[in-house]
């Protein structure tokens, strides 16, 4: 075990120590060593880096670093990425310095039955494969590691935000995968790592085509062509969007959207190349059902998730269904049609407003999306919803006295909160919200047999049906057909109450 020192190629005289025990952790391209205090790692490229790669790395740790983190709101992104902070050189090998991931991205318990992976990184694969959550699987994850279904929505929101910010800066990650996105359903966070492969169109070409399962069809179907061939498709912003869609689908449904039962070739490798590339087909395509998973060939440890009839993608609700359709039907072979990261973020957030806690304490998922029926039930355990269920549809003022639907609703449950982004359409629910905007403005509760909204911070809440102001600190009952004006300010919304499960 030797402690070595490598010098920055950017700041003369700045050095970094790392511990070389002869057995670095090995990534696809780099050998990774911890610093003595384990607060950062030094990752050396095994191959010599050409001028372009060096320039790219230097830019990533200087110019891009500044524009991402040294601006207002930059702190928020620090948790979303594991961004390299310096470039070093030692014995003609180039390396990057990257802060160690937050503690929450290492398993506290790991497997339910052993300590084998305690302390290991929470790679996405652990949470995307149905086996590791199957109680019959000997090496399943401990329940304390799995979170509930709602946790994965927040995880996906974070991933979408991370990708959104990269794309907003004109960058593409180029290799989003299980390995490169750490997820933690316990703290409901995600972190994008391996930032050093960033692609800037026209400036820095990609040096990887991605990781199996996440490579876009157009990249796979042209991978036999020379890198300089004009028809060769390489990773870019739009292929990131394919990977993002696959990732979200997998974290919510624990199966791959393109891996079904259709046989394209008797040779396994050719078959896989076609199934993920040229002839990729959504396993839940509404009309072309030829790629539906074959039930008799499924591994029982992957059930119920592998069974698309038991757990169809429509359980993710109307907003996400629409985006999955665009990603895996319209946009699968037509990259321009793919939903943007921002659209995913938005749809995920709107979907969380449709979620209900399952009343079955033993339900593994704990939450489900309201299915817009009069008799809602948890799609995972089948438990019907108990009691009435207020549904609030949001409207905005189109012009004087004309209100139009927002295509957005809020499902009420006891202790559900109301926020400014519900009350006013000018407040956008994203990472730029101020602390003050994150404070609830009211809450819903089932009180003495009635559903009520308690007004905490809405200055101009009004019951339009009864033509009555609802002052701060008082409450209003939610009844079928009731109209409430949440705010008189510009952008203020009206909600109309529908009582389901009567």
The site for other proteins (CB under 8 A) is made up of 22-23, 26-29, 46, 116-117, 120, 123, 125-126, 129, 131-132, 137-139, 175, 177-180, 194, 197, 205-212, 215, 227, 234, 261, 263, 265-269, 271, 294, 297
Find tokens 């119920």 and name the residue.
304
Buried b (16+ CB within 10 A) or exposed e, 290-307: ebbbeeeebeebbeebbe
Dist CA 281 CA 291 (whole Å): 7
Least separation in angstroms between CB 104 and other proteins: 18
Q: Is 140 left (phi over 0), alpha (psi -120 to 50) or beta?
A: beta
CB of 295 to other proteins, least distance (A): 13
Buried-state track 27-44, b at ≥16 Cβ within 10 A, e below 16? eebbbbbbbeeeebbbbb
CA 462 from centre of chain: 36
Cα angle 304-106-345, degrees, rounded to a multiple of 5: 60
Distance between CA atoms of residues 339 and 282, nearest Å: 16
Give the residue with the Cβ less far from other proteins, 159 or 495: 159
For other proteins, the closer of residues 107 and 380 by Cβ is: 107
Best CA proximity match to 102, nearest among 198, 187, 16: 187
CB of 364 to other proteins, least distance (A): 19
Closer of 137 and 153 to other proteins (Cβ): 137
In the complex with other proteins, the residue whose CB is nearer, 205 or 304, is: 205
Nearer to other proteins, 176 or 369 (CB): 176
Closer CB to other proteins, 109 or 125, in the complex: 125
CB nearer to other proteins: give 129 or 420: 129
Shortest Å, Cβ 287 to other proteins? 21
H/E stretch holding 8? strand 2-8
Measured CA to CA, the distance from residue 40 to residue 102 in angstroms comes to 11
Q: Locate tokens 């006013």: which residue?
A: 424
Identity of the residue, 275 or 378, whose beta carbon is nearer to other proteins in the bound complex: 275
How far apart are CB 276 and other proteins at their closest, in Å?
A: 12
Q: What is the nearest approach in angstroms of other proteins to the Cβ of residue 213?
A: 8
In angstroms, give the least distance from the CB of 235 to other proteins. 8
Distance CA 248, CA 232 (A): 27
The angle that helices 237-253 and 341-352 make with each other, rounded to 10 degrees, is 20
The Cβ-side half-sphere exposure at 109, using a 13 Å CA radius, reads 12
**In angstroms, what is the minimal distance from the CB of 387 to other proteins?**
41
């Amino acid at each position: 075990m030797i402690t070595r020192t490598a010098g920055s190629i950017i700041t003369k005289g700045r050095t970094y120590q790392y511990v070389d025990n002869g057995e670095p952790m090995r990534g696809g391209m780099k050998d990774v060593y911890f610093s003595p205090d384990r607060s950062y790692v030094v990752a050396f490229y095994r191959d010599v880096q050409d001028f372009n790669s060096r320039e790219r790395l230097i830019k990533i740790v200087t110019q891009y670093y500044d524009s991402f983190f040294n601006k207002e709101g930059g702190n928020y992104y620090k948790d979303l990425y594991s961004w390299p902070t310096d470039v070093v050189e030692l014995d003609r090998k180039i390396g990057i310095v990257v802060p160690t991931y937050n503690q929450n991205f290492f398993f506290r318990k790991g497997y339910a039955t052993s300590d084998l992976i305690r302390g290991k990184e929470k790679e996405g694969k652990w949470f995307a494969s149905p086996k590791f959550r199957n109680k019959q699987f000997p090496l399943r994850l401990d329940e304390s590691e799995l979170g509930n279904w709602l946790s994965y929505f927040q995880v996906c929101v974070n991933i979408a935000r991370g990708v959104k910010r990269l794309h907003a800066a004109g960058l593409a990650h180029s290799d989003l995968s299980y390995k490169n996105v750490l997820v933690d359903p316990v703290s409901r966070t995600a972190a994008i790592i391996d930032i050093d492969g960033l692609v800037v169109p026209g400036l820095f070409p990609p040096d990887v085509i991605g990781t199996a399962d996440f490579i876009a069809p157009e990249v796979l179907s042209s991978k036999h062509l020379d890198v300089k061939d004009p028809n060769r498709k390489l990773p870019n912003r739009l292929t990131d969007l394919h990977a993002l869609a696959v990732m979200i689908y997998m974290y919510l449904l624990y199966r791959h959207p393109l891996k079904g039962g259709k046989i394209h070739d008797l040779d396994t490798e050719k078959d896989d190349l076609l199934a993920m590339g040229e002839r990729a087909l959504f396993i839940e395509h509404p009309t072309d059902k030829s790629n539906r998973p074959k039930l008799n060939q499924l591994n029982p440890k992957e059930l119920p998730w592998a069974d698309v009839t038991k757990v169809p993608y429509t359980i993710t609700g109307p907003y996400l269904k629409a985006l999955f359709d665009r990603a895996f039907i319209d946009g699968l072979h037509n990259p321009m049609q793919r939903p943007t990261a921002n659209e995913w973020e938005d749809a995920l957030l709107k979907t969380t407003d449709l979620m209900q806690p399952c009343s079955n304490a033993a339900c593994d998922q704990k939450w489900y999306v309201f299915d817009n029926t009069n008799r809602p039930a948890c799609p995972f355990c089948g438990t019907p919803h108990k009691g009435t269920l207020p549904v609030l549809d949001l409207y905005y003022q189109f012009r004087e006295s004309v209100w139009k639907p927002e295509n957005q609703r809020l499902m009420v449950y006891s202790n559900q909160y109301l926020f400014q982004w519900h009350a006013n359409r000018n407040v956008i629910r994203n990472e730029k919200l101020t602390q003050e905007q994150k404070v609830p403005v009211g809450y819903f509760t089932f009180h003495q047999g009635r559903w009520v909204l308690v007004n905490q911070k809405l200055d101009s809440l009004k019951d339009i049906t009864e033509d009555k102001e609802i002052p701060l600190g008082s409450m209003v009952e939610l009844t079928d057909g009731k109209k409430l004006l949440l705010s008189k300010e510009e952008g203020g919304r009206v909600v109309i109450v529908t009582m389901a499960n009567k």
